[in-house]
Structure 1
Amino acid sequence: MAFSIMGLFGVTLDTRKFSKDDRLGATIALMQAILRRSDRASWVGAAPYLPVNPRLSTVSVFPHTNVRGQVLFEFDFRAANEQDRRSHKRTILGAR
């Protein structure tokens, strides 16, 4: 994910420095590169409607992607209605 959006923020990361599944490390490196380039945390407003990532509180949850270009966000949320505090599962699908 970090590699596919790094150009939007005007930075380039060396993809060889990260393992195939190192999304967290790549995201941290992306944020550091953005701050070095512009001194502003411009990623904070990238997806304000998504829940916060539990492992990295300055970014949203990471989506699941596939080779067909589909993006899947899956997360738990609490209902806004105080009468209904059950945990729900919500999925947002998108495609290219």
Structure 2
Amino acid sequence: MEDGLIAKLLGVASGAFLALVFDPPRSRMGFARRTAAAIVAGYIFGHVVLTFMDWPETYENVVAAFCTSAFLSWAAMGRVKKLVESYRKET
């Protein structure tokens, strides 16, 4: 695939944007933290989603896999933040 990097970056950016729309952060720091996590984790785990879903490596599937990975990592970071906050309240 010749445009692999473009497809990956497009997928990661669109996944982070979709997550921002559906689950907006409360602060600018939360936005920066979760966006960075979505970009990094989306880029790292995009191939895992592609393999797990057993999709052929076409341009559209790469974009979809990296978008899904970034979106799920954004949601995961939100859950991690809530768990840490609840742990801090208990101690």
Q: TM-score range, shorter-chain basis?
A: under 0.3
Task: Report the TM-score, using the length of structure 2 for normalisation.
Answer: 0.25
Higher relative contact order (CA 8 A, sep 6+): 2
* Between structures 1 and 2, the one with greater strand share: 1
Task: Report the TM-score, using the length of structure 1 for normalisation.
Answer: 0.24
